[in-house]
């Protein structure tokens, strides 16, 4: 009878809830430790035909130019489809990316697949820190929405603040099992002696699988970074 079953559930449901909760937390913790353990370890050998969906984070100043420079030497048929994200107030970066993708089409590369998206900025230059709390929340929600749509297997970024929410969400996706991704961070060539704030965060939190720097001084200061020389 309904009365009996409701009594049965109301007696044991607190225990059930607690058990479920503890089990859930344990699973997440185990996953978290597993992801930390596997971060930075190379993936297994791939079959030649396999492609990886790639998220490319662009930024104002020299960031986009440096990123395009890197994309020129990556095999386009391996890193596809490509998703470009730039901050909503950055007018030039997506345009530069479009020009780059068009040049690939013009030079006869087949099967081009690229999408261009804008993301809200966590904080504009000079914005008050009080209002920044709200805008950061909005930006993070927007980042989550975009990442759920894209679910990239590879993340390429080189410094703009927009990459932080995206990288953190990519990491969370790995923990929760939504999508495994490899996160590559190349610190900007303009950073010779000190890391940028984005670089420092990703380095300390050990979120990036590979952390590249372009000047030897940085490699000496941050031993887990890999020195690759100047890209420009």
Partner 1 sequence: MGEARDGVKVKRVVFVTVGTTCFDALVKVADCQEVKDELYRRGYTDLLIQMGRGSYLPAKSTGDDGSLAVDYFTFSSSIVDHLRSASLVISHAGSGSIFETLQLGKPLIVVVNEDLMDNHQSELAEELAERKHLYCSRPLTLHQTIASMDLNSLVPYTPGDATPVAKLINRFLGFPEES
CB 39 within 8 A of CB 141: no
Please report, in angstroms and rounded to a whole number, the separation of the first and last CA atoms in the chain.
76
Decide whether 101 or 209 has the Cβ nearer to partner 1. 209
Per the structure block, which two tokens stand in for 185? 């961070």
Q: Measured from the CB of residue 153, what is the shortest distance to partner 1 in angstroms?
A: 9
**Contact set with partner 1 (CB under 8 A):** 42-46, 48, 52, 60-62, 65-66, 69-70, 72-75, 78, 154, 182, 184, 186, 188-194, 196, 209-210, 212, 214-215, 226, 228-232
Q: Measured from the CB of residue 107, what is the shortest distance to partner 1 in angstroms?
A: 16
Decide whether 96 or 140 has the Cβ nearer to partner 1. 96
Q: Where are the beta strands (DSSP E) in the chain?
A: 54-57, 82-87, 114-119, 154-157, 182-186, 210-213, 226-227
Decide whether 67 or 168 has the Cβ nearer to partner 1. 67
CB 181 within 8 A of CB 173: yes
Distance from C-alpha of 172 to C-alpha of 160, rounded to nearest angstrom: 20
Calculate the CA 6 to chain-centre distance. 46
Decide whether 142 or 166 has the Cβ nearer to partner 1. 166
Q: Measured from the CB of residue 214, what is the shortest distance to partner 1 in angstroms?
A: 8
Q: Measured from the CB of residue 45, what is the shortest distance to partner 1 in angstroms?
A: 4
Decide whether 168 or 195 has the Cβ nearer to partner 1. 195
């Amino acid at each position: 009878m309904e009365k009996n079953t409701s009594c049965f559930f109301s007696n044991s449901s607190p225990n059930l809830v607690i058990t479920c909760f503890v089990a859930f937390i344990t699973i997440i913790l185990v996953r978290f430790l597993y992801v930390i353990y596997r971060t930075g370890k190379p993936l297994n050998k791939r079959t030649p035909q396999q492609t990886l969906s790639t998220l490319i984070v662009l930024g104002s100043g020299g960031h986009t130019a440096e990123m395009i420079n890197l994309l020129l030497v990556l095999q386009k048929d391996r890193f596809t489809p490509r998703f470009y994200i730039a901050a909503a107030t950055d007018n030039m970066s997506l345009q530069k990316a479009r020009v780059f993708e068009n040049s690939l089409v013009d030079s006869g590369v087949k099967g081009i697949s690229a999408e261009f998206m804008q993301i809200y900025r966590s904080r504009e230059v000079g914005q008050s820190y009080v209002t920044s709390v709200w805008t950061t929340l909005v930006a993070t929600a927007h980042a989550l929405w975009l990442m759920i749509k894209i679910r990239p297997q590879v993340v390429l970024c080189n410094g703009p603040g927009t990459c932080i929410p995206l990288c953190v969400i990519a990491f969370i996706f790995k923990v929760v099992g939504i999508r495994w991704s490899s996160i590559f961070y190349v610190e900007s060539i303009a950073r010779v002696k000190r890391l940028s704030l984005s670089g420092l965060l990703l380095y300390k939190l050990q979120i990036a699988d590979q952390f590249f720097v372009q000047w030897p001084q940085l490699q000496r200061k941050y031993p887990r970074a890999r020195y690759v020389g100047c890209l420009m």
